[in-house]
Amino acid sequence: MEPSSIHVPDNYYSVTIGEAQMVVLKRYQNLRLIGSGAQGIVCSAFDTVRNEQVAIKKLSRPFQNVTHAKRAYRELKLMSLVNHKNVSFTTFYFSFYPIYFQIIGILNCFTPQKKLDEFNDLYIVMELMDANLCQVIQMDLDHERLSYLLYQMLCGIRHLHSAGIIHRDLKPSNIVVRSDCTLKILDFGLARTAIEAFMMTPYVVTRYYRAPEVILGMGYKENEQLGTPDRSFLERLQPTVRNYVENRPRYQPTPFEVLFSDSMFPMTADSSRLTGAQARDLLSRMLVIDPERRISVDDALRHPYVNVWFDEIEVYAPPPLPYDHNMDVEQNVDSWREHIFRELTDYARTHDIYS
């Protein structure tokens, strides 16, 4: 529990949520815990200014070490870049909302601390969604919903890539969904820019060659279901990794009809344009170990299982503002703290955070 003698400035109030003390702007009322992650806790709240429900994330102890501090900076910075309002586009749509429909939008950010040397708590206010994908995949979904969720994930990934951002931590808990089946990607904590990825150490690079079934955590027994990768792929691996793969027994791939049998897919409704066979075909193109042979995001968007939702305006939304690569140099905690504090001050100068 944090100290209860915490200083609460004007325009803010303090409320205890579980183990955490939240000091938030008074405009946000009725806080309720909805989730927690590696970085902190997330509450729903009612925004009395905009008259709508929002999500507020408190990054817990963002300055405990360099990794946390850098993650916090990236999350704030990348969210606000991805989220900038492109004038011509938003004017066209008369939209007050962020233009990247499939990436969570930042609505506000603040800290109750007024000075850099006191700065310790970072709050980010976002659009509120209803559930994360861990919860949604437990439900019985029909082909229409499955393919719509997939289409939106692909759009979101395309937007990130068009900004040179690689998410690196895409998993069901980082994807949130509304009850109307709209979907958004969250959490840019581990996001890397393409330039950084290029400069990564061999160890990290090799992780990109991990078999999809390993990444998917399907378990050791099933690890070789896609079969041993072919020679042309092995030749492109780091020598140590190649050695490891070559010294393992050779496996024939299990046919996709066996891996993903008809009974694993929803029944195809008579009226539906979408079938389990199409879903399986798309999976077989996505779960390819060799990234050069794996279906690209653009081609996946054109696949018959997904292209029923294809909307050029959504898919080809203009690229987000570029991320400043100079920020990617290693810095100490105090330096990250200063950058984040400056971002918050700039935000407060250019937006009315109170009302």
Among 48, 120, 173, 206, binds ligand AMP (CB under 6 A): 173
What is the 3-class SS of the chain, one letter each residue?
CCCCCCCCCCCEEEEEECCEEEEEECCEEEEEEEEECCCEEEEEEEECCCCEEEEEEEECCCCCCHHHHHHHHHHHHHHHHHCCCCHHHHHHHCCCCCCCCCECCEEEEECCCCCHHHCCCEEEEEECCCEEHHHHCCCCCCHHHHHHHHHHHHHHHHHHHHCCEECCCCCHHHEEECCCCCEEECCCCCCEEHHHHHCCCHHHHHHCCCCHHHHCCCCCCCCCCCCCCCHHHHCCCCHHHHHHHHCCCCCCCCCHHHHCCHHHCCCCCCCCCCCHHHHHHHHHHHCCCCCCCCCCHHHHHHCCCCHHHCCHHHHCCCCCCCCCHHHHCCCCHHHHHHHHHHHHHHHHHHCCCCC
Q: Which of 22, 25, 39, 185 binds ligand AMP (CB under 6 A)?
A: 39
Among 132, 225, 228, 275, binds ligand AMP (CB under 6 A): 132
The least distance separating ligand AMP from the CB of residue 39, rounded to whole angstroms, comes to 5
Question: Is position 169 annotated as part of the catalytic site?
Answer: yes
176 binding ligand AMP? (CB under 6 A): yes
Residue with tokens 């690569």: 325
Q: Which residue lies nearer to ligand AMP by CB, 76 or 226?
A: 76
Binding flag, residue 35, ligand AMP (CB under 6 A): yes
Which position among 79, 99, 107, 129 is part of the footprint of ligand AMP (CB under 6 A)?
129
Of 167, 187, 229, 265, the residue at the interface with ligand AMP (CB under 6 A) is 187
Number of residues that bind ligand AMP (CB under 6 A): 19
Give the interface segment with ligand AMP, choosing from 81-89, 127-135, 224-232, 271-279 (CB under 6 A): 127-135
Q: Which of 42, 69, 78, 211 binds ligand AMP (CB under 6 A)?
A: 42
Q: If binding is defined by CB under 6 A, does position 121 make contact with ligand AMP?
A: no
Output the residue with the shortest Cβ distance to ligand AMP: 35
Site map 99..118 versus ligand AMP, x via CB under 6 A: -----x--------------
Cα–Cα distance, 337 to 209 (Å, whole number) = 34
Compute the half-sphere exposure of residue 158: CA atoms within 13 Å on the CB side of its CA: 23
Among 169, 180, 187, 270, the active-site one is 169
State which residue, 33 or 327, has the beta carbon closest to ligand AMP: 33
Interatomic CA distance for residues 303 and 120, integer angstroms = 47
- Which of 126, 160, 163, 165 touches ligand AMP (CB under 6 A)? 126
The size of the chain, in residues, is 355
Stretch that binds ligand AMP, among 20-28, 169-177, 200-208, 334-342 (CB under 6 A): 169-177
Q: At what angle do helices 66-82 and 333-350 cross, to 10 degrees?
A: 30
Which among 90-98, 124-132, 202-210, 265-273 is the span making contact with ligand AMP, rule CB under 6 A?
124-132
- Stretch touching ligand AMP by CB under 6 A, among 32-40, 66-74, 141-149, 152-160: 32-40
Min CB(277)–ligand AMP separation in Å: 32
C-alpha radius of gyration, the chain, whole number? 22
Residues 52-71 within binding reach of ligand AMP (CB under 6 A): 55, 57
240/177 Cα distance (integer angstroms) = 41
| Residue 136 binds ligand AMP, judged by CB under 6 A | no
From candidates 37, 164, 266, 304, binder to ligand AMP by CB under 6 A = 37
Pick the stretch among 111-119, 148-156, 172-180, 254-262 that binds ligand AMP (CB under 6 A).
172-180
Site residues (CB under 6 A) for ligand AMP? 34-37, 39, 42, 55, 57, 104, 126-129, 132, 173-174, 176, 186-187
Return the active site residues. 169
